[in-house]
Structure 1
């Protein structure tokens, strides 16, 4: 079950990130998140109500803390998508987000059998290979050393890794309410960032306008919320390290969609990475 749920989360994350990145290219990170985050919050709030479970203070606290980390990850991730090719940014972020939960899982005593461990290692190699692309001089000039695609992607990956790790600590006693709290944490981070920008005399950037972009932003937020729910169910039904690695395969979806929509060229090494990802998932499944 953990394999199916985690791969479902990867699919939803991949599509959501592609859509969010597309909107960001025509607007700004903050303006995009001001549409995406509330949309996700609404979806999760309604879902939590329908489950009929009551929240607990501990689960809400863990959820909100995870959401703060995830919100920081979302902002830096969308910033990275605007600075560099999707086929580079998404895999770098995913690799970083997978390593932290693996380390925490191992430290907590999680052990994988030989077949599953081999599959996990292959998946990690696959994520790294998919991220290998020639540098984009145009993207590198678009920001300073601390504001370029790959570095921002790394920061976002660490933040996502913290989210993956912390949300497991919320447990299942509070139903889906920890995810509602997490999305509230996302919104809090976006609000703080917006306040800082305004206080410094800046502007949040170009507004998301037009039915197409607004629709894509709302769909991105809803899919991201669905991905959160699938991962939450996965990590609470199995090992943290396994759920995080399989979920972190979402760049394969983002890369393929970017290839179709934006004609972002895949190098031979990236195609190899996609093939290895399929192999790793197969090993994890049969294990």
Structure 2
């Protein structure tokens, strides 16, 4: 079985469990519309997750994460303008800084590592294509969850979404191949990923309740910087000067958007 399928199969139940606990602690309102929109969001996001995992496995993490974030930020920004109207000028400035930052995150050093040099160009193109698809899927998830939260459904719409993601995960082995037993390290990492993922979802719901969609998109543009830092710390991928500048610009863009 593919590694991304293993991760998703293990992470999804953990994420659903955390979502259920959160819903029991803070129930909110339960509406049919919220559950339906949450389910649709889960299907879209669940379909994007394995595509993102596969893209991250094929290409450099910094590049793939940047393409995902750039696609998601632009798509959400357009959706925010359509639904909420044009933002103030300072938000436009934050949007511009965020997009520039994402492009800088994707900049690779001229002296590539042996692992990157060995990657065929077709592999990188494939990874970028999948990253774009994943970014659109994540943007769709966020937009649909914003609709689900219009009736203050609280975490219950997220429970519906994570249930749909679990259904997508269960169906993956029929496409990618039979399930094999993962190692304890893969299991622990995947379960942690599920908990962190749904924690991010819960924070997203809190943001959507009080923040315009375009502002959420701009602040979310800092994600490739976090990914780049994680890759530097855990995988020993070096940050080049462009990526460091990208971190600064992303922080500036988020500050402008948040202060508007």
Superposition TM-score, scaled by structure 2 size: 0.90
Q: Indicate yes or no: 2:142 matched with 1:164.
A: yes
* Dislocated runs of 4+, deviation >4 Å: 141-145
- Per mean C-alpha deviation after superposition, the further-off stretch among 265-274 and 74-83 is 265-274
Aligned to 1:261: 234
Paired with 1:144 and 1:268, the residues of 2 have a C-alpha distance of 22
User: Residue 67 of structure 2: SS of its match in structure 1?
Assistant: helix
Note the C-alpha offset of 1:242.
Answer: 0.9
Structure 1 partner of 2:24: 49
Distance in 1 between the 2:124 and 2:141 partners? 27
Deviation at 1:56, TM superposition (A): 1.4
Count of equivalent residues: 254
Q: Could you tell me which residue of structure 1 aligns to residue 152 of structure 2?
A: 173
Q: Which residue number corresponds to residue 214 of structure 1?
A: 187
Alignment partners' CA distance in 2, 1:261 and 1:272? 21
Structure 2 distance, partners of 1:208, 1:125, is 39
Tell me the residue number matched to 1:32.
Answer: 7
Residues in 2 aligned to 1:99 and 1:222: alpha-carbon distance in whole angstroms: 27
| Alignment partner, residue 152 of structure 1 | 130
- CA distance, structure 1, for counterparts of residue 152 and residue 53 of structure 2: 32
Could you tell me whether the CA contact under 8 Å between 2:222 and 2:251 is conserved in 1?
no
1:138 aligns with 2:118: yes
User: Where do residues 228-247 of structure 1 align in structure 2 (5 Å cutoff)?
Assistant: 228-247=201-220
2:5–2:169 CA contact under 8 A, matched in 1: yes
Is the Cα–Cα contact under 8 Å of residues 63 and 107 in structure 2 kept in the other structure? yes
Matched residue, 1:75:
50
Q: 1:117 to 1:67 in 2, by over 3 A?
A: same
In structure 2, do the counterparts of structure 1 residues 220 and 262 end up closer, same or farther at CA, with 3 Å as the change threshold?
A: same
Match 1:185 to one of 135, 160, 164: 164
Distance 1:107 1:85, change over 3 A: same
What is the root-mean-square deviation in Å for CA atoms of aligned residues? 2.2
Residue 79 (structure 1) shift: 0.5
Asked if 1:129 is matched to 2:104, the reply is yes
What are structure 1's unaligned runs of at least 5 residues?
1-23
CA shift for structure 1 position 94: 0.8
* Contact 1:32/1:208, CA 8 A, preserved across alignment: no
Counterpart residue number, 1:60: 35
The Cα shift of 1:203 comes to 3.5
Closer, same or farther in 2 for the Cα pair 1:247/1:144, shift >3 Å? Answer: closer
CA distance in 2, matches of 1:271, 1:208: 36
Partner deviation per Cα, 1:108-167 (whole Å, 9 max, x = no partner):
24332222321122112111211122683433378596xx32221111101101111111
Q: Is the 8 A contact 1:140 1:149 kept in 2?
A: no
